[in-house]
Amino acid sequence: MEAERPRLRPDLEVLPGRPGEEVILYDPARRTLFELAPEARPLLSLLDGSLTPQELARRLRWRLDDLWELLDDLADQMLLWDPDQEELLEAWRRTGEDEDLLLQPILDSRPPPPVTPEMVDVVDEARHTCLGCGACCHYAVPVSPEERRRLEAFPWPEEVIPPEVGRLFLVRPGVQWGRLEETIATHSNPTRCAFLDPENRCRVHREVGPQAKPFPCRLFPLAYPVLAAGRVLFSLTFECPNLHRTYDTGELLSERKGELAALASEMEEIYALPERIPLHDGDEIDQAEYLSWEQALLALPWAPASDPGGTLEPLRRAWRRMSPAGPDPLPGPEELGRLAERLGRAAREHREVLAESPEGEEGSAWAVRVLEELAGRPEGAWAALPWADAPAADRFLERFLRHFVEGKQMLLYRPLPKGLQALALLLLLSRSDAGRMARESGPEIGLAALNRALARWVRLLDLRPFRVAFLRET
């Protein structure tokens, strides 16, 4: 007896591919991808519910067993229309939409104005010189269509293509928003950009020139700029594990204002400080009041490495002065323990996402152990640590704090208490991580370990499942 007439779900997106490339189906409900062999492309236009499997096999001149196998795969992935599955798919859609709302920043997005070098500011007159360590070349870097065309025009040797994926570019859901983006392919375990050579040098930079690199590569280690009060503000992300080595001696970033203005002008949209800043429960302050509060916050004395309690308490008091009735945004040991447990669970549930990040499997496993320790003994996050140079460690974390606050990275969280919670969490996690390194490698903690720890947690908190877990728990 002939089976029902199969048809694809009408909400699926069939991504246009090139001849000879896999066919990619995007499921917007689950935000996942399904790849089909190139020869399966003709089948998709026939899966409209008008033909039985037997008729499809005859039309395509396929073996019926091969067709059934592919239909079973599509059904297993819930890609064929089935009214009995619609309730579950709708629940997934609602979950994704709820997460999108959680991830909305305070910052607005808008097309950039004409940006001149005179409009550019760099937080803390920071310095940075790339040391060529290759640590930043482990991301699946998004590329624009023009960047892909530019890179494909070069005759790359065959060994550049990662054998595990078989091509230079992939389509995948983004690490934070889940929207589809085209990225440079990476090797796996550990992740490495296809264009990173064995000496940790960028082949694109060497063979085609620095301007041929994708936008995120040219921007790093700077965060996406923010338009505020008529200025375009650049800050460091602290995802680079070697920032500490050249912060005082490297190239003064403010001397590259022409280049930075060109980068900002290249963006389709730029972050912008809104006129109203949400606090909690509908309360808001205006932009001028926020900027005044921000400057008062930055003027406080900090010792985040040697005295985390003495650093978090002024943060708490500063928040109380602005919002006396608002929630306490800074965790104590009990709250930190619960948060560490929740983040650890998210890390284990989404192990494959973390493993594909620059942390890879090894760094992600280390992060889980740090979280497990904190969940069991959260008061340890405030314990004294054996710093090799405590003033230098304090100065490094104070610089991170300044870039996070003045660079408006705190406003990537909504409402404002969430940004303060993220700041406190990153400070406590990086201290705990560095302390664990000292216990295993001992006896003292240098800036390299602290920088490495902070880079790890800044990276991880940028991943969608990890950030969603943080936002839900707080």
Q: pLDDT tens across 383-423, in order? A: 999 999 999 999 999 999 999 999 999 999 999 999 999 99
Q: Do residues 255 and 347 both lie within one domain?
A: no
Tell me: do 403 and 352 sit in the same domain: yes
Name residue, tokens 């069939």.
14
> Is there a single domain that holds both residue 90 and residue 183?
no
User: Is it the case that residue 3 has pLDDT exceeding 60?
Assistant: no
Residue 89 or residue 325, greater confidence: 89
Confidence at residue 155, expressed as pLDDT on a 0 to 100 scale? 94
pLDDT top residue among 325 and 457 = 457
Q: How many domains does the chain have?
A: 3
Instruction: Pick the last residue of a domain from 103, 130, 163.
Output: 103
Note whether 104 and 473 are within 8 A (CB).
no
Band (185; pLDDT cuts 50, 70, 90): confident
Instruction: Return d(Cα 18, Cα 38) in angstroms, integer.
Output: 9
pLDDT score for 2: 42
> Is the domain of 312 the same as that of 449?
yes
Q: In this predicted structure, what is the pLDDT of residue 188?
A: 77
* Residue 65: CATH number of its domain: 3.90.930.60
13 alpha carbon, distance to own chain's centre: 24
How far is the C-alpha of 42 from the C-alpha of 53, rounded, in Å? 14
pLDDT value for 100: 93
Q: What pLDDT sits at residue 381? A: 97
> So what's the pLDDT on residue 171?
83
Q: Looking at the structure, do residues 229 and 158 belong to the same domain, yes or no?
A: yes
Helix/strand/coil for 148 = helix
- Tell me if residue 328 falls in helix, strand or coil: coil
Query: Which of 113-117, 196-200, 225-229 is the least confident region?
Result: 196-200
- Quick check: bond before 190 cis, omega within 30? yes
pLDDT above 70 covers a percentage of the chain that reads 98
Residue 191 — pLDDT band, cuts 50, 70, 90? confident
pLDDT at 262 over 60: yes
Picking from 103, 129, 144, the residue at the C-terminal end of a domain is 103
| pLDDT value of residue 389 | 97
Question: What is the structure's pLDDT at 442?
Answer: 78
Q: State the CB neighbour count (10 A cutoff) for residue 288.
A: 10
229 in Cβ contact with 199 (< 8 Å): no
Query: For residues 30 and 85, what is the distance between their CA atoms, to the nearest angstrom?
Result: 12
pTM above the 0.85 mark? yes
Q: What pLDDT, on a 0 to 100 scale, did the predictor assign at position 350? A: 94
Please state, in angstroms and rounded to a whole number, the distance separating the CA atoms of residues 140 and 360: 12
Cis preceding linkage at 443, omega within 30: yes
Boundary residue ending a domain (103, 133, 155): 103
Domain assignment of residue 167, given as a range: 108-270
pLDDT at 174: 66
283/266 same-domain check: no
| Residues 348 and 375 both lie in one domain | yes
- What is the structure's pLDDT at 110? 96
- pLDDT tens, position by position, 237-261: 999 999 999 999 999 999 999 999 9
Task: Reply yes or no on whether the pLDDT at 356 is more than 90.
Answer: no
Mean pLDDT estimate for the chain = 93
Q: Is the pLDDT of residue 134 over 70?
A: yes
- pLDDT over 90, % of the chain: 79
User: Does residue 235 sit in helix, strand or coil?
Assistant: coil
Q: Are residues 41 and 135 located together in one domain of the fold?
A: no
Residue 458 banded pLDDT, cuts 50, 70, 90: very high
The DSSP string of 94-115 is HHHHHHHHHH--SSEEEPPPPP
Pair 17, 35: CB distance under 8 Å: no
The predicted pLDDT at position 178 comes to: 59
Cα 382 from Cα 467, distance rounded (Å)? 23
78 and 50 belong to one structural domain:
yes
Same domain, 175 and 64: no
pLDDT score recorded for residue 96:
93
The model's pLDDT over 21-73, given as tens digits with 9 standing for 90+, comes to 788 999 999 999 999 999 999 999 999 999 999 999 999 999 999 999 999 99
| pLDDT confidence of residue 1 | 32
Residue 325 has pLDDT above 90, yes or no: no
Same domain, 219 and 123: yes
Average pLDDT over every residue of 324-347 = 95
Whether residue 157 sits in one domain with residue 84: no
